[in-house]
Structure 1
Amino acid sequence: MSEKFSPGHPPHPTPPPPGGREPFIQLRNICRFFQVGDETVHALDHVTLDIHAGDYISVMGPSGSGKSTLLNMLGLLDQADSGSYRLEGRELTTLPEEQRAQVRREKIGFIFQSFHLIPRLTAAENVELPLVLTGIPANERRPKVQQALTSLGLAERADHRPAQLSGGQQQRVAIARATILQAPLLLADEPTGNLDTHSSTDVIRILEALNTQGITLVIVTHDANIGGRARRAIRMVDGKIVQDGT
């Protein structure tokens, strides 16, 4: 399979090193607490983090360390109890939900362990869905979808529903859907957790190819081999970043 993937748009050029530019993402003292009975759980405990455009970051740590909560915060699927989140210089922490949803559509793609494809839709229809939701006309949608599926070796599976696809094929459909709008930030939560070794390797190579085209990639994983492939690895324990380096 080719590792070059451009779902419907020319690829972004790989960005130059930060060189003093304002970070693409800035988290400052982000806290997220949950009340479990009489106990307060610190899912994120004063997390401060800079992410630059084009970064390739893995987030690792034991279960309950705050990895997925951090990813949900970056993806605006959850809201901080305190602290600041800036994306491209824009403060997002206090945005109303309608504006948060718009930022998610335009700036962020999501890939999950369980694929989250819609069972009654074909592969092509699943990939097309973000284009439909943004109001792109049908005659413009179809070639974009076809190109995305072809790039991922799925052209012959376009009319198959998720139940007719292997796990690796379903995840490739999910990647095409997540990137069809060419969002600059791609968040992947255990993207290989339900895949065999061969399919896992294919999926990671596809994600890495997207990163080389300029997409900022953040992967949460329990797999040290996958985490070690990233140019930057973050380790979390008890809601805190305890290690951040190459």
Structure 2
Amino acid sequence: MSADPGSPSAAQVELDGVERVFHLGDSDVHALRDLHLRIGAGEYVAVMGPSGSGKSTLLNILGLLDRPNGGRYRLEGRDVTTLSLEEQAQVRSRRIGFVFQSFHLVPRLTAAENIGLPMMLAGIAPRERAERVARALKDYGLEDRARHKPDELSGGQRQRVAIARATIMAPALILADEPTGNLDRSTGVEVVRLLEALNARGVTLIVVTHDPQLGARARRRLLMEDGAIKHDTMAAETV
């Protein structure tokens, strides 16, 4: 299923006392409040809660797109909050894959070029890039769409390109932000199954969603309110 070059490893996530405060005018908005969280390697976790509860802020910190104001974040046992921006970018490139609601594909690039972009930025040789992209196109059923640009693809095809791009570097952690938000129900289920197949191979999967049906598929569910985790529930069995 995946275009990863080998068996993926999985990431363990540890947050200790993480705080994130945004200064808006004369007010301080506490997006995350003294957050403590452990996510084991290979877990499948849904993060749920109302708008403004801190879900996106949590995802941005886990993805090293934002820094906490306090506390520590350890990824695979390494304190990544102390890393420089360049070091964080390297970790983000090689260990973390992102799947977004809006796909975030580069409009002027073809499906194949979008999938290969992370490898190009990482300096991987053209021949290896071509081989891994070809494998990804086959694995995700996109061989006949390789030369198509995003505006020539359906929503489901664009999300498959996005997932292929997110996994081409064999990340240990996949972060999905409302991955089915712009898709119809049947296409959304197909996309979720692609992500779940990656999790079944050992990748840690964290999904932010408002969709209770999608959230119910995860083996563990975190409900956030006012920047804190109010409920942490393990499912009896996966849907």
**TM exceeding 0.5:** yes
The separation in 1 between residues aligned to 2:120 and 2:8, in whole angstroms, is: 23
Contact 1:8–1:143 (8 Å) recurs in 2:
no
Identity %: 56
Structure 1 equivalent of residue 44 of structure 2 = 56
AA aligned opposite 2:127: N
Q: How many residue pairs are counted as aligned between the two chains?
A: 234
Shift of 1:87: 1.0
The separation in 2 between residues aligned to 1:8 and 1:106, in whole angstroms, is: 12
Shift of 1:36: 2.1
Aligned mate of 2:77, from 69, 76, 89: 89
The separation in 1 between residues aligned to 2:189 and 2:138, in whole angstroms, is: 19
Structure 2 equivalent of residue 11 of structure 1 = 7
Contact 2:96–2:174 (8 Å) recurs in 1:
yes
Structure 2 equivalent of residue 20 of structure 1 = none
Aligned mate of 1:117, from 98, 101, 105: 105
Aligned mate of 1:71, from 56, 59, 77: 59
AA aligned opposite 2:3: P
The separation in 1 between residues aligned to 2:4 and 2:143, in whole angstroms, is: 14
Structure 2 equivalent of residue 208 of structure 1 = 196
Shift of 1:30: 0.3
Shift of 1:31: 0.3
Matched, 1:145 2:141: no
Q: Deviations over 1:125-178 (max 9, x none)?
A: 000011111111111111110111111111100000000001111010000000
Matched, 1:108 2:104: no
Q: Deviations over 1:96-134 (max 9, x none)?
A: 101010110111000111100000000000000111111
Structure 2 equivalent of residue 132 of structure 1 = 120
Root-mean-square deviation (CA, aligned residues, Å) is: 1.2
Contact 1:84–1:93 (8 Å) recurs in 2:
yes
Contact 2:47–2:209 (8 Å) recurs in 1:
yes
Q: Deviations over 1:46-104 (max 9, x none)?
A: 11000111000000000000001000000000000000111111111121101010110
Structure 1: tracts of 5 or more residues without a match: 16-22
Shift of 1:239: 0.3
